[in-house]
Structure 1
Amino acid sequence: MSKHGEEKYKRKFQSGKIGDLNANSNDSTHQLSIHIRHGHNKFWSESILPLTLCIACPFLVRSIVFICDHSHGSIMEFFSHILFDQTMTLKQVLVNFFYFQWHWPSALIIISFLLYAVIMTMLIPGDEYSGPITDTGHVPVYHNNGFTYYVISLILFALLTVLLKFNNISPTYIYDHWEEFLSTVNTFAFLLCFLVILKGKYMPSTNDHRSSSNWLTDFYRGVELYPRIFNIDIKLITNCRYGMLAWALLSIIFCMKTFELHGYTDSALVSCLLTLVYLTKFFWWESGYMKTMDIIVDRAGFYLCWGCLVWVSGIYTLPSYFLVTHPNKLGLSLTITVLALGFLSIYINYDCDRQKIDVRTANGQCEVWGKQATVIRAKYLLLNGKESESILLASGYWALSRHFHYVPELALAFLWSYPCGFHYILPYFYFIFLCVLLIHRAHRDDQKCRLKYGAVWDKYCQLVRWKIFPGLY
């Protein structure tokens, strides 16, 4: 969208002249999303870029795993094998990068896991809570049973592990067939993305959908904001109940494999423990996550659904996966130091979110760090013309920067990668990716809020100058 077009929409939005978006939304309506994406309808940004990402990302995940397996995670060593000592041919590499194998045992595991996630989400009791009201006036409703789901799942996994061991089988079977598993889950993820886009275009669950004439754009970004099938929230299942739980279980499986091969290894244990504690915090705070940008802004498409099913499994678990074949000895003092710093990062990350939730729950009438909370009340109009209000916090951690909670999250990502050592770059791929992702996300959030709140957001930015890193950015 051009700057003139954005300003025009901004004036209409703030004056309440934009009505409900319905199932017959066209391209013009499609660009009236709260998070404006510049360059809409341009051939590059709306066709070539989504197509490139949808094709390249699966091969990128596979290539990173391949380099970890065959070149110790060293990109330089990988190219050396091809160009100099010729222990690999380019043809062999391309066959491994681009060949996707259907693996029935992996398919059975994935289907069983997805069914388990859906059934347990439906059966486990939990208090109802609401997500933020959308720009069309829809209020999503969930059951607060994520932490119970997580704890039960870990217990069942432990019991299953014991049962398998009695029959001379191990969950580390997944590690032994990891490339086949990634290939199979990638196929499932693409099928799900096609299902979600068709549902969004022809059977949307709410009015919060943006269907354009460009199928590439819709496939990549998604159509529906809150798609549900048989009242099962697709984003809740893919993001939390599959993606995040798979991350936890895979970290345990890779740690178990390290112990099977090398005996007790403190580096693998440290990386696994930090991951598990972080994910325990995540599920404890799941109701808060359902109010973040991943849920309230990003739609259910390739970017989100494929990312949670494949990218999380293949990339977020990379440090634990790498340590299976490259264990390090940290020693007691370094183990304690890394764990202590990691636990502190997790606590600060949680405390940041807790501050914001407490202030909003108290409607701004509370203290933060011993002082009355400084808040800005930002009124805005929904697309149906009704007025709503947000509380912008400028106290505590939120006085340091507008996204200070990203700082401990980045620190933690570095800390659970640190046991891999510094000889190879790929174990830190998740940390590097997260830096780019969070910086871009902070920019997107700033863009969204400036459009949504107008001059009030500018006032807030004067109080809280920095986006993420105080004094730097």
Structure 2
Amino acid sequence: MSKADADRYKYKKASDLPSNHNDVIHQLSIHSRQGHNKFWSESVLPFMLTFTCPFFVRSIVFISDHCHGSIGEFFTRILFDQSMTLKQILEQFFYFQWHWPSAIIIISFLMYAIMMTMILPGKEYTGPITDTGHVPIYRDNGFTYYFVSLGLFALLTLVLKMNHLSPTYIYDHWEEFLSTVSTFAFILCFFVMLKGKYMPSTNDHRSSSNWITDFYRGVELYPRIFDVDIKLITNCRYGMLSWALLSAIFCMKTFELHGYTDSALVTCLLTLIYLTKFFWWESGYMKTMDIIVDRAGFYLCWGCLVWVSGLYTLPSYFLVTHPIELGPVLTTTILALGLLSIYINYDCDRQKIDVRASNGQCKVWGKPSHIIRAKYVLLNGKQSESILLASGYWGLSRHFHYIPELALAFLWSCPCGFKFILPYIYFIFLSILLMHRAHRDDQKCRLKYGKAWDRYCQLVRWKVWPGIY
């Protein structure tokens, strides 16, 4: 074991670091988790999550379709309805079903995503340098991919309608579709784990003797097959595009059943506009924690293939069976506030990108940008530097961009009304996820940047909510 590798496990928390820890460093990135060998954190918890997450996603659909949207009715049926046998429970929530029409759609969509990612033009750009000195390279064609895909989807819809068919077939077989994509995602995650263990693409991989941990958290940071980045495909080109297309399909189904419904249209429009912003900024997303910290495993890949499809689309799906008329005033208000949230979220990202592109030589809100240059050392001994922005939105809190994102999640859920909590599960989940992510990012940056991060935190006191958290 090299000195760098030995130091990685030598220090378990920030207080254990030597005073010159910025000379030792980036081996203490978030990949080295406290309690790495603990049975609970490395075996029990990952196993429970891989077991319960598919149950949770399937339960949401069952509640919406068979329990009138009531979580209480769902638990009553599961616990006290003697007509529901164990076999039915397993088939409804746990059983790995394989519905061939759904499988053909899923595999065709995935192949389409890979093919378009490879052939669409775009300038090359790089992600952040890794601990081992690897610099991932991508092609900036996400925005083109998004609009080409929407155009092809509109054309496909027209052709299907002319032949008395509809893409709402997916809604009609949604339970089978979710079971199939979950089964497919499990197989894919297992394959990616084996690839990471025995054929890693880069030196940024971490294999252990605990296969449960490796399956759940992943082994490789940047796995590639035939130069196709697996995380780019699962996270963006499949996961985020499927979110957009499914929202449109569920909105169409609402219109088919109930005619024009303003609540379904508002939710669909805000989702599509938000995802337009996402793909416009995709190169920025490839530099976030999802990509540069989290490895390709169940947590990330299954999540983007299944969790996004089943949970993120829930407000649109719920409105198919629970349509609400908002009226012109509420429709306009929700759309306006939603568009404002999207703009602020975009503007937060733009500020940081502009500052880094100009090496800090630009103005933010009409004033010279206030930055901290944070140096750190890679595992290969080379020094690198990051710019920490402490002005504009980023002077209000370290993750101010989470606030408009949460506001938007609430706004595209509220057209479902307030009678049921079910359509707000995504908003609740996102709130927990982003607060935890802010905490994780703070840990990672404190270990990575050391005293420079302490200076930054003195300037920007709050993690997310100014004056609160």
Asked if 1:304 is matched to 2:311, the reply is no
What is the Cα deviation at residue 98 of structure 1?
2.0
- Alignment-derived partner of residue 28 in structure 1: none
Which digits, 9 at most, give the CA deviation of each residue in 1:176-227, with x for residues without a partner? 0000000110111011101111111111111111111211111111111100
Residues 10, 189 of structure 1: CA spacing in aligned structure 2 closer, same or farther, 3 A cutoff?
farther
Distance 1:147 1:249 in 2: 15
Give the counterpart letter for 2:171 in structure 1.
Answer: Y
Q: TM-score, normalised by structure 1?
A: 0.94
Q: Aligned pair in 2 of structure 1 residues 15, 430: CA closer, same or farther (>3 Å)?
A: closer
Instruction: State how far apart, in whole Å, the 1-side matches of 2:448 and 2:388 are.
Output: 13
Residue of structure 2 equivalent to 1:139: 135
SS at match of 2:413: helix
Aligned equivalents of 2:119 and 2:110: distance in 1? 14
3-state SS of 2:374 partner: strand
> Counterparts of 1:255-334 in structure 2 under 5 Å?
255-334=251-330
Call closer, same or farther: CA 1:88–1:366 in 2, change over 3 Å: farther
Which of 9, 13, 27 aligns to 1:6? It is 13
The answer to whether the 8 A contact 1:228-1:234 is kept is yes
Q: Which residue of 2 aligns with 1:46?
A: 42
Paired position in structure 2 for 1:25 = none
CA distance in 2 between counterparts of 1:215 and 1:400 reads 42
Aligned to 1:27: none
Shift of 1:167: 1.1
Q: Distance in 2 between matches of 1:263 and 1:306?
A: 35
Structure 1 residue corresponding to 2:84, chosen from 82, 89, 97: 89
Q: Distance in 1 between matches of 2:277 and 2:99?
A: 33
Given candidates 416, 421, 432, the residue that maps to 1:420 is: 416
List gaps (5 residues or longer) in structure 2: 1-7
* Residues 77 and 139 of structure 1: CA distance in aligned 2, closer, same or farther (over 3 Å): same
Tell me, yes or no, if the aligned pair for 2:25 and 2:376 is still in contact at 8 Å.
no
CA-to-aligned-CA distance 1:368-415 (integer Å, 9 cap, x gap): 001111101100101111111110000000011000000000000000
Equivalent residues of 1:72, 1:424 under 8 A apart: no
Structure 1 residue 265: Cα displacement? 0.2
Matched, 1:129 2:125: yes
**Pair 1:383 & 2:379 matched:** yes
Residue 36 of structure 1 deviates from its aligned partner by 3.7
* Alpha-carbon contact 1:224-1:300 (below 8 Å) kept: yes
1:107 to 103, 108, 112: 103
Structure 1 Cα separation of the partners of residues 109 and 364 of structure 2: 42
SS at match of 1:5: coil
Report the TM-score when normalising by structure 2. Answer: 0.95
Superposed, which structure 2 residues align to 1:29-428 within 5 Å? 33-81=29-77, 86=81, 89=84, 91=86, 92-428=88-424
* Aligned AA (1:14): H
Q: Which amino acid aligns with 1:346?
A: I
Using the TM superposition, give the Cα deviation of residue 272 of structure 1 relative to its aligned residue in structure 2, in angstroms: 0.2
Check the 8 A contact 2:216/2:299 in 1, yes or no: yes
- Equivalent pairs, count: 461
Unaligned runs of 5+ in 1: 20-30
* Equivalent residue number for residue 5 of structure 2: none
Q: Percent identity?
A: 78
Q: Is the 8 A contact 2:29 2:444 kept in 1?
A: no
Quote the offset at 1:72 in angstroms: 2.0
CA distance in 1 between partners of 2:79 and 2:32 (Å): 45
Contact 1:134 1:208 in 2 (8 A): yes
Amino acid at match of 1:187: T
- Over the residues paired in the alignment, what is the CA RMSD in angstroms? 1.9
